[in-house]
Amino acid sequence: MSADRLEIAVQKLKDTGIRMTPQRYAILSFLMETLSHPTADEIYKVLESQFPNMSVATVYNNLKVFKDAGLVRELTYGDSSSRFDGNTSDHYHCICSSCGRIVDFDYEPLVELEEEAERSTGFAISSHRLEFYGTCELCKTEYKQ
Ligand SMILES: [Zn+2]
Ligand SMILES: [Zn+2]
């Protein structure tokens, strides 16, 4: 499934007229394969040995290109750096308060809740964000030992 996602993403960039470079391809395929919602820094650290001339700025520029093309979602959390999600379908997140891990939580989008928000506030709602905080599976077992 992630391979398909990568192929589709590559094709979409091609259709948009965006030139593919080895670095761009590496960043894109990492994002399409990982479930970790990495920051630009984390992506840089994973790929820097492969591309010694690559800078963090290159990673940022590419993330912006992918975001503008609708291939990734940027998740912002206050003043901490943005995380990037290669899964652009509607889904929710569980965030570990202990290690910061973000795990996808697939659940039918709460459309009724958006409608209720529109009724109650008069807003034209375009999207919503819902996040769950707690202790992830790994941290839970660490505490038990
Ligand atoms: Zn954790
Ligand atoms: Zn996600």
Per-residue pLDDT reduced to its tens digit, 90-133: 899 999 999 999 999 999 999 999 999 999 999 999 989 899 99
| CATH 3.30.1490.190 segments of the chain | 92-144
- Whether 102 and 75 have beta carbons less than 8 Å apart is answered as yes
Output the pLDDT for position 22.
94
Angle, nearest 10°, between helix axes 22-33 and 2-16? 140
Q: For 92-144, CATH number?
A: 3.30.1490.190
Output the pLDDT for position 3.
63
How many CB atoms within 10 Å of residue 3? 10
Output the pLDDT for position 81.
80
Length of the chain: 145
Supply the pTM of this predicted model: 0.85
Residue 92 CA, ligand 2 centroid: distance in Å: 7
Least confident of 56-65, 79-88, 109-118: 79-88
* Architecture of the CATH domain 2-85: Orthogonal Bundle (1.10)
Ion ligand 2: residue ranges with CB closer than 5 A: 85, 87, 104
User: Is a pLDDT exceeding 90 seen at residue 144?
Assistant: no
Output the pLDDT for position 89.
87
Residue 33 CA, ligand 1 centroid: distance in Å: 21
Q: Which ligand is nearest to the CA of 104?
A: 2
| CATH 1.10.10.10 segments of the chain | 2-85
Residue 30 CA, ligand 2 centroid: distance in Å: 14
The pair of three-digit structure tokens given for residue 75, joined into one six-digit string: 């998740």
Q: Which residues contact 71 (CB under 8 A, 6 or more apart)?
A: 9, 12, 13, 28, 31, 86, 88
**Which of the four pLDDT bands, split at 50, 70 and 90, describes residue 66?**
very high
